[in-house]
Structure 1
């Protein structure tokens, strides 16, 4: 699972460089996210713009990362494709996560600019 990170003053952005998060990649995704986020206290924005497919295992992995970060370190999402957005909407996870249209919007929201 290839993830690209960028650290900014109040936010860590993590871009998923794969086109799917599914049963075959969910465990690796969680492990990589744990490694990436184990230090720091900034909010985390997960950029899903390249992800075209997300199954229940992938959704579960994203929820697990949110739980792992805890209540004081939010996990926000950005760039959901129509297919991925539908999964979040149908499972009502769109009410659990803050979802931004783009990374830039998420970063400006996080930094208050």
Structure 2
């Protein structure tokens, strides 16, 4: 599972560089997230803009990462494609996660 992580201010921004998180990759996703989130940060922002498909296993893995972070670290999502956003909406997980259309304004690198 190809993920990239960058620290910006008190945030850890993790980008999923894959087009799907499904039953075949959910465990790898969760394990890689466990590795990259060892970096201390108040919040983790998960960039899903390259993910075109997410099934129930992938959704479960994202929820698992939220639980892994514990109550003191928040997991926000951004860049959801229409298909992925629909999965979050249909399962009402859009009420559990803070979902941004794009990277929150204050974190965008000038350039």
TM-score (norm 1): 0.91
The correspondence of residues 17-56 of structure 1 with structure 2, limited to 5 A, is 17-56=17-56
What are the ranges of 5 or more consecutive residues in structure 1 without an aligned counterpart?
109-113
8 Å CA contact 2:42–2:72 kept in 1: the answer is no
Quote the residue 1:58 is aligned against: 58
8 Å CA contact 2:12–2:43 kept in 1: the answer is yes
Quote the residue 1:111 is aligned against: none
The superposition leaves residues 29-54 of structure 1 with CA deviations (integer Å, 9 ceiling, x where unpaired) of 00000011123032000000000000
Quote the residue 1:79 is aligned against: 79
What are the ranges of 5 or more consecutive residues in structure 2 without an aligned counterpart?
none
8 Å CA contact 1:22–1:53 kept in 2: the answer is yes
8 Å CA contact 2:12–2:41 kept in 1: the answer is no
TM-score (norm 2): 0.92
What is the root-mean-square deviation of aligned Cα atoms in Å?
Answer: 1.3
Quote the residue 1:10 is aligned against: 10
8 Å CA contact 2:43–2:75 kept in 1: the answer is yes
Whole-angstrom distance in 1 between the partners of 2:69 and 2:76: 11
Whole-angstrom distance in 2 between the partners of 1:49 and 1:106: 18
Q: Of Structure 1 and Structure 2, which has the larger fraction of its residues in helix?
A: 1
Whole-angstrom distance in 2 between the partners of 1:72 and 1:24: 30
